[in-house]
Chains A and B, each alone.
Chain A
Amino acid sequence: DAKTTQPTSMDCAEGRAANLPCNHSTISGNEYVYWYRQIHSQGPQYIIHGLKNNETNEMASLIITEDRKSSTLILPHATLRDTAVYYCIVRAHTGANSKLTFGKGITLSVRP
């Protein structure tokens, strides 16, 4: 699977949008971009995923560039509970046996 690169950390003010970037310049045509987050001492939580179109759900929006070499996860109104490590992962396919390979992720700190 292609690898991703993310900044180590970032912070944002509560109530403001948090924009988390991710580079995946070697992504293949059949690989999806997934985002998970892990709040301290808990299991990872699925956020969103996409192939090439922008996606939005109740948690976040995912913006994928036209060349698919990078993407941005947007939390529109960050709260203190959004403080977590966010993982951007590319996944070969959505079959039941495809595995997730976690990198170091980006630590988002939401300040009051």
Chain B
Amino acid sequence: GAVVSQHPSWVICKSGTSVKIECRSLDFQATTMFWYRQFPKQSLMLMATSNEGSKATYEQGVEKDKFLINHASLTLSTLTVTSAHPEDSSFYICSASLLGSGGQDSPFGPGTRLLVL
């Protein structure tokens, strides 16, 4: 089945540093990847939609200059949290739409837990 991986699975960083999270579709091509954020005891909140070869579309209230998204290939999208602060500590999850499948099941990655000290 279609598998999405994320790297790293968890990261701890100091306030003010930048952190890059990778989302890969392992055995399929994805023209579109989605980035979500989930705070403790809350639901997933869509941050942005990442399209291969074009600029990402951000949801209202999400700062595009703080959360940089690059989708340079059909199998890789990256999310960079720039100048991270403790309030950015969260569980970041990506999903990918299977090219040609109609996006029926949109597999999700296992998530990346970020802790900013």
Contact = CB atoms under 8 A, between A and B. Distances in A.
A43 B43 contact: no
Interface of B is mostly: strand
Interface residues of B, number: 30
24 contacts: A38-B44, A42-B111, A43-B4, A43-B95, A43-B108, A43-B109, A44-B44, A44-B93, A44-B95, A46-B105, A49-B104, A49-B105, A95-B102, A96-B32, A96-B103, A97-B32, A99-B34, A100-B46, A100-B95, A100-B106, A101-B46, A102-B36, A102-B44, A103-B43
Contacts, number: 63
Interface of B: 4, 6, 31-32, 34, 36, 43-46, 49, 51, 91, 93, 95, 97-99, 101-111, 113
B43 A105 contact: yes
A97 B103 contact: yes
